[in-house]
């Protein structure tokens, strides 16, 4: 149970140092910057700053690292909303409604909603972390190969139905994404696939370069296409008070916020799924149960709420396996794990008894970081929106350069920049031919999870085929998947018939 | 308007400058005040490569620039974390900045194949792996080369362990009881392995010792341990650092270690050998240089490892992060150790590739 005296000690260890709070604010600001620039991610920011924590105390070091994590997770929304280019993989789904809203002159409102929901999501995840971390860790342990395999199928089929109009195109897109995910050495037997004899291909394609290609480069090509036409200047509505949310509207979004937070935290505790998956799942969930699903994608608050609340709730979720099991969920938490160990904090079941004060110090730091993010982004909005006033012929070359630097930095090789070019062309053709891009991104993210767990599960099945009957969680996910797919195919047919 | 533009540009430039000094899988452990030397790994051509055939110069003028240590595992793993912790001392000893690059995947084959090339044999790129991966990859057919494909710098630390762990509620406490129990079952027990790796070999060694086992792919150390906890698999082998919290909390128990000697931090856990089971996996952390690197440089780096091993700080780090006392072998002894390990693994090649 929670030992409140240790918890207080941890809280106190953070708030007694004004310098530490300043450090958290600086960390969040830097994280936001990394999150906002396409190609630079929070894991890069954390890797860069990890060595700086060598000379710091446990609490200082960890506070700086989680501040970067929180800032980086949230910063992605800025580029998504203003430029239609996701700043991070987590912010892909923020583009869906965030950008249309900004394009209709309500950039402040879109940013305001995104920022507020980011804050709520982070705090929700933190509350789960604080009160039920050991319980959720037990849930995470229950997930074996069957469950991961089932949840990957479930997520992928949801995303196919997400892009709605043409389920065939959605399916092709997911399939291509998964196919691109197989490039390189196979997860289990290390067979070389699609490497064409190039050693550089052994390492596979990287999510970041695909994301930059599909979104940033495609967006730039589209702008270039329209370069001779007069640029449309979007007149932004004057800035309103608060976050662009009336209290009444906020109340009507209450359910969306809560369910997105739960989805985000749930995805967070399962290592390897990540913020991008959380955002898209929450978006699909909110859309499917909405009374007006046809309005999604046109710039309604619901879409931004779902995406931003869930991807930030991932933070709290991902900290659970990290702290209580010592298992990182993604690139950023892997480096946080290194940070913990560097500061002689051993994650595991005994972390609360051994390093309780530091753990609560980390919680406090996350809370302050969430608050810092709210403040910095709220007051930064005015500056962010000015991005829209910069002529695109000046802005986009800068963005593309930054993106290429980001791609290069993945593993310091030019190869990844060629990958960006390739996916720029793929993305451009996909937009021209009406193929949705998010399924491809998710297919790529979940493809390897699906494959390795499918192969593991089949090894288990080879021993004893009835073992699958003992995995109720996996079965439930598969049944839901079949139901969702059947319903969406039926709906599509009905729609076609009524149209005819 | 102009003011904001310049502000945005200034912010971008800051990001530029910052990314210039480090990147995703790299980090300079020193304060980022000397970013200009970054492209060390990328532009080795500028550095005159010392001919190995040259008469040995009286004073080796090395190192002069940033050294890149390529760790063939993901950031946050035990070799990565322990090496990064030792790095400040090593930098002090060598007098230059060092950076760490993580080139993970394919059980070290990806990192080795990418960096063991003539262009990196400049004396400023080194490859860190554990000895078992190299030998196991060859024995299982994952790779077609052994340790001799690279130049030896030396064994610089002991691996934290190869502990066979099972759930605390399992009906066996020792490796003997485990083997006995497994033979009484109709279906074999599941041993979680990382494909192609040393643990796969360990599972084959245990089978050869009489256990009724089947190897099931279960991913990296953390993932394997969670799967033991969740009952998805029955047994696996993990480093001491991965399982120690669970041993302490009583959720897992360790049957034995496969190392040749008991671990300094867990003297109560016997070795398999002591229990009369002839299974040894004496894994070491080894530093290699790309083939063609000046042997004098390798030797000097080996001596630097040996020199810092005396330091109390390194002893503390080693005990804390690896559960072992510092352990450094000379170039010759390292080669001998690697040869022994390769032979032990290759003895199983028929079973492994059969």
What's the pLDDT score for residue B322? 87
Query: Which of B8, B18, B24, B74 would best serve as a mutation to test chain A binding (most A beta carbons within 10 A)?
Result: B24
Averaging pLDDT over each range in A232-246, A355-369, B90-104, which range is the top one?
A355-369
Residues in B closer than 8 angstroms to A50, CB to CB, are 27
Could you tell me which CATH class the domain B162-257 is placed in? Answer: alpha beta
**CA gap A174, A172 in Å, rounded:** 6
For residue range A250-298, list pLDDT tens digits in order.
Answer: 888 999 999 999 999 999 988 878 888 999 999 988 988 888 988 888 9
Residues composing chain A: 500
pLDDT above 80 (res A143): yes
Does the distance separating the beta carbons of A189 and B195 come in below 8 Å? yes
Q: What are the strands, taking DSSP E only, across B20-160?
A: 26-27, 67-71, 98-102, 125-130, 151-158
Does the distance separating the beta carbons of A390 and B5 come in below 8 Å? yes
Query: Domain B67-159+283-352 sits in which CATH superfamily?
Result: Bordetella uptake gene, domain 1 (3.40.190.150)
What percent of chain A is predicted at pLDDT more than 90? 43
For residue range B224-280, list pLDDT tens digits in order.
Answer: 888 999 999 999 998 888 888 899 889 999 999 999 889 988 899 999 999 988 888
CA distance A338 to chain B (A): 4
pLDDT above 90 (res B1): no
Residues in A closer than 8 angstroms to B229, CB to CB, are 141
pLDDT above 60 (res B123): yes
Q: What are the strands, taking DSSP E only, across B78-147?
A: 98-102, 125-130
Residues in A closer than 8 angstroms to B12, CB to CB, are 37, 398, 402
Nearest to B230 among A142, A326, A351 (CB): A142
pLDDT above 90 (res A393): no
Do B67-159+283-352 and B162-257 come out as alike in CATH topology? Answer: yes
CA distance B88 to chain A (A): 9
Residues in B closer than 8 angstroms to A44, CB to CB, are 19, 23-24
Per-domain boundaries in chain B: 67-159+283-352, 162-257
What percent of chain B is predicted at pLDDT more than 90? 44
Structure tokens at A39: 């190609």
Residues in A closer than 8 angstroms to B7, CB to CB, are 383
**CA gap A478, A351 in Å, rounded:** 35
Q: In which residue are the tokens 């047994």 written?
A: B235
Query: Which of B77, B144, B220, B226 would best serve as a mutation to test chain A binding (most A beta carbons within 10 A)?
Result: B226
CB atoms within 10 A of CB B322: 27
Query: Which of A37, A144, A359, A406 would best serve as a mutation to test chain B binding (most B beta carbons within 10 A)?
Result: A144
pLDDT above 50 (res B103): yes
CA distance B182 to chain A (A): 15
Q: What is the pTM of this model?
A: 0.81
- Once rounded to an integer, what is the mean pLDDT over residues B289-317? 94
Does the distance separating the beta carbons of A328 and B226 come in below 8 Å? no
Give the CA distances from residue B13 to residues A33, A401, B6, in Å, rounded to whole numbers and listed in that order: 11, 11, 10
Binned at pLDDT 50, 70 and 90, residue A44 comes out as confident
For residue range B34-86, list pLDDT tens digits in order.
Answer: 344 444 444 444 444 444 454 545 578 889 998 999 998 876 677 888 898 89
What's the pLDDT score for residue B10? 54
For residue range A296-307, list pLDDT tens digits in order.
Answer: 889 999 999 999
> Poorest-confidence range of A157-161, B10-14, B68-72?
B10-14
For residue range A487-500, list pLDDT tens digits in order.
Answer: 878 877 887 787 76
Beta carbon pairs, A and B, within 8 Å: 179
B206-221: buried (b, 16+ CB within 10 Å) or exposed (e) per residue?
A: bbeeebbbbbbbbbbb
């Amino acid at each position: 149970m929670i030992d409140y005296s240790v918890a207080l000690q941890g809280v106190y260890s953070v708030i007694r140092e004004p310098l530490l709070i300043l450090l958290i604010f600086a960390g969040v600001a830097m994280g936001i910057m990394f999150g906002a620039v396409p190609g630079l991610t929070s894991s890069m920011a954390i890797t860069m700053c990890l060595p700086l924590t060598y000379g710091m105390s446990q609490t200082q070091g960890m506070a700086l690292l989680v501040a970067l994590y929180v800032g980086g997770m949230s910063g992605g929304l800025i580029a998504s909303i203003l430029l239609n280019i996701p700043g991070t993989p987590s912010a892909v789904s923020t583009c869906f409604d965030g950008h249309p809203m900004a394009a209709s002159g309500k950039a402040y409102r879109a940013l305001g909603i995104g920022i507020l929901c980011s804050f709520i999501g982070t705090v929700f995840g933190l509350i789960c972390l604080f009160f039920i971390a050991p319980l959720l860790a037990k849930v995470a342990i229950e997930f074996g190969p069957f469950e991961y395999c089932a949840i990957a199928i479930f997520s992928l089929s949801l995303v196919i139905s997400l892009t709605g109009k043409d389920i065939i195109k959605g399916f092709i897109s997911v399939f291509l994404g998964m196919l691109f995910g197989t490039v390189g050495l196979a997860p289990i037997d290390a067979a070389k696939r699609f490497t064409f004899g190039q050693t550089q291909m052994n390492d596979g394609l990287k999510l970041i370069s695909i994301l930059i290609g599909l979104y940033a480069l495609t967006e730039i090509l589209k702008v270039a296409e329209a370069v001779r036409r007069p640029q449309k200047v979007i007149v932004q509505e004057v800035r309103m008070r608060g976050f662009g949310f009336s209290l009444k509207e906020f109340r009507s979004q209450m359910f969306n916020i809560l369910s997105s937070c739960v989805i985000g935290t749930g995805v967070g505790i399962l290592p390897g799924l990540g913020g991008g998956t959380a955002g898209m799942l929450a978006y699909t969930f909110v859309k499917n149960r909405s009374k007006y699903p046809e309005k999604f994608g046109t710039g309604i608050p619901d879409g931004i709420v779902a995406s931003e609340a869930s991807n930030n709730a991932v933070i709290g979720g991902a900290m659970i396996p990290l702290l209580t099991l010592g298992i990182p969920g993604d690139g950023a938490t892997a480096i946080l794990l290194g940070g913990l160990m560097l500061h002689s904090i051993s994650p595991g079941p005994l972390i609360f008894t051994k390093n309780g004060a530091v753990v609560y110090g980390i919680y406090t730091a996350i809370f302050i970081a969430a608050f810092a993010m709210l403040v910095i982004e709220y007051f930064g909005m005015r500056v962010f929106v000015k991005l829209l006033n910069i002529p695109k012929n000046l802005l986009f070359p800068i963005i593309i350069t930054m993106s290429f630097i980001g791609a290069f930095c993945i593993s310091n090789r030019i190869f990844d920049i060629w990958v960006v070019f390739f996916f720029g062309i793929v993305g451009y053709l996909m937009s021209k031919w009406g193929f949705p891009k998010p399924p491809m991104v998710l297919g790529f993210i979940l493809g390897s999870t699906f494959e390795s767990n499918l192969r593991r599960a089949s090894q288990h099945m080879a021993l004893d085929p009835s073992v699958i009957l003992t995995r109720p969680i996996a079965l439930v996910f598969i049944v839901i998947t079949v139901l969702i797919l059947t319903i969406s195919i039926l709906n599509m047919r009905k729609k076609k018939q009524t149209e005819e | 308007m102009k003011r904001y533009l310049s502000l945005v540009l200034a912010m971008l430039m800051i990001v530029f400058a910052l990314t210039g000094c480090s990147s995703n899988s790299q980090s300079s452990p020193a304060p980022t005040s000397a970013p200009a030397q970054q492209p060390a790994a990328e532009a080795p051509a500028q550095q005159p490569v010392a001919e190995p055939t040259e008469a040995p110069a009286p004073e080796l003028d090395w190192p002069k620039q940033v050294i890149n240590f390529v760790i063939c595992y993901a950031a946050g793993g035990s070799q990565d974390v322990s090496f990064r912790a030792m790095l400040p001392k090593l930098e002090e000893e060598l007098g230059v900045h060092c950076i760490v690059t993580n080139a993970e995947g394919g059980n070290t084959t990806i990192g080795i194949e990418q960096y063991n090339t003539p262009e990196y044999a400049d004396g400023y790129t080194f490859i860190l792996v554990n000895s078992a991966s190299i030998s196991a990859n060859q024995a299982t057919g994952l790779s077609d080369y052994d340790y001799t494909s690279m130049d030896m710098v030396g064994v610089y630390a002991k691996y934290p362990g190869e502990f066979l762990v099972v759930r605390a509620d399992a009906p066996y406490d020792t490796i003997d009881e485990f083997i006995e129990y497994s033979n009484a079952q109709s279906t074999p027990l599941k041993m979680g392995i990382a494909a192609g790796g040393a643990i796969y070999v360990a599972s084959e060694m245990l089978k050869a010792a009489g256990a009724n086992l089947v190897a099931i792919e279960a991913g990296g150390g953390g993932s394997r341990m969670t799967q033991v906890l969740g009952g998805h698999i029955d047994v696996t082998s993990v480093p001491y650092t991965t399982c120690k919290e669970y041993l302490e909390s009583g959720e897992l128990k360790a049957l034995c270690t496969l190392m040749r000697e008991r671990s300094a931090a867990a003297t109560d856990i016997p070795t398999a050998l002591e229990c009369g089971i002839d299974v040894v996996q004496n894994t070491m952390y080894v530093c290699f240089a790309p083939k063609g690197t000046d042997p004098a440089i390798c030797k000097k780096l080996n001596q630097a490892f040996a020199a810092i091993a005396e330091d109390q700080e390194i002893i503390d780090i080693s005990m804390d992060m690896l559960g072992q006392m510092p352990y450094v072998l000379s170039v010759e002894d390292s080669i001998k150790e690697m040869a022994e390990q390769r032979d032990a693994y290759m003895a199983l090649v028929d079973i492994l590739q059969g």
